Structure formats: C-alpha cells, structure tokens
Amino acid sequence: MQSKNPSQEDNLGFLKSHKVESESFLLSSGDRILVSKYFLTFDLWQGLSIPNTYNGKTILNWNNEPVFAELAILRLFQSHGWNGVWVDSYRRKFRVGLPDVVDPISIPQEQDGLIKTIRIKTKRSGGCWDVFVWKDSQVLFIELKRKGKDRIQNSQNEWLEASLSSGLNIKNFLLVEWDIK
C-alpha cells in the first residue's frame, strides 16, 4: 500500500507548476522532515446557496460545482485518475460530496485498514489529514490550509509521525495552501 513506485512524482505532474516550497515538521525524536507544499487558488462559488456550510466553510467553484476546499482538491486528483475521499474527521465520515447533498461513503478495506492502524497509534479519531487519495499502490494524505488563516495542528503532526512509523514515507504526504483568486 505504501508508495514504493519511483514514478510517483510523474503521477503528480499536474501539480508541478503549483509547487512553491516544502514545510518543515518537527518530530518527537527531534528530527525535522520536509513535506512538499503546493499553492492553489480557486474561484468563489457564485451560485445558489448550499444546505450545509459546516459552520461557514468557504464555498468554492469547481467546474460549476459548489465545493469546500477539501472537495476541490479531491476533484483535482480524481480528474487525474486518483480515487479518494475527504476525511471528515469531525464527523468521522468519508465524503466525496457536500454534506446533506451526497451521503458519506465507505472506503476499500485496504485504505480503511491503513487509517485505522494510524488512528490506533495516535490514540485519537482526529488528526487525519483532510484528503486521502490512492492510485495503484500509491497513497497520499493531503492537508489543506487557507493562506493566512490556518496552521498545522498538533494532532496533524502526530498523524504524520504515526503514519511514518506505520511504514509510510514522506512522499505519502503533501500540503496545499489555498486562497481565493
């Protein structure tokens, strides 16, 4: 399940023009690791209101579809052949569409097993990165942060560390910093 395929970077070619830098994470061992970070901008949704904004989340326009940022990133990866979900840690659901519009889904046993293994190591249900995608034998956890408004939480750092101790490597993670055009 982990990323062993040397062509993983080829499968992320659609992001190359958006890479800006890497972000440093401090592990409990004192080691620092770098996670690739990408910057994307989106248009605001200008259409009809949606039934549930999850306490005021920003609604973006993805090809004339109202979405949250997590779903915009999921759609981007889906458009390049990846499968995946928005990991709604707050409500402990896997989603592929807006709440109250698209029902939560189950994920394949192998991917679900990986998330459960990491949750056991972190001893919490939260902390999983926002979007979980997979393609062939590759998996990626993607954390989204709105420019100037969000920051990495301790639980997300713990998720990264538990994932690395579960056999994943740094290439299984990326950050997306996003903003409105």
Instruction: Give the type of residue at 23.
Output: E
pLDDT tens track for 113-163 = 999 999 999 998 889 999 999 999 899 999 999 999 989 999 999 999 999
pTM attached to this predicted model: 0.92
pLDDT tens track for 83-94 = 999 999 888 899
What is the structure's pLDDT at 32?
95
What is the structure's pLDDT at 9?
56
Burial of 140 (0-12, 13-18, 19+ CB in 10 A): buried
Residues in the chain: 181
Helices (H) and strands (E) in the chain, counts: 4, 9
What is the structure's pLDDT at 19?
74
DSSP helix/strand/coil, 144:
strand
Which of the four pLDDT bands, split at 50, 70 and 90, describes residue 7? Answer: very low
Q: Average of pLDDT values for 95-114? A: 96
Distance CA 10, CA 133 (A): 16
pLDDT tens track for 35-81 = 999 999 999 999 999 989 998 999 999 999 999 999 999 999 999 99
CA atoms within 13 A on the CB side of 120: 8
Residue 2 has pLDDT above 70, yes or no: no
Domain parsing of the chain, residue ranges: 8-180
Q: Average of pLDDT values for 85-105? A: 93
User: Please, which residues have CB within 8 angstroms of residue 68's CB and are 6 or more apart in sequence?
Assistant: 54, 57, 58, 59, 60, 86, 98
Higher pLDDT pick, 97 / 6: 97
CB distance 135 to 82 below 8 Å: yes
Q: Please, which residues bridge with residue 177 across strands?
A: 39, 145
Q: Which single residue is written with the structure tokens 């973006």?
A: 60
What is the structure's pLDDT at 6?
38
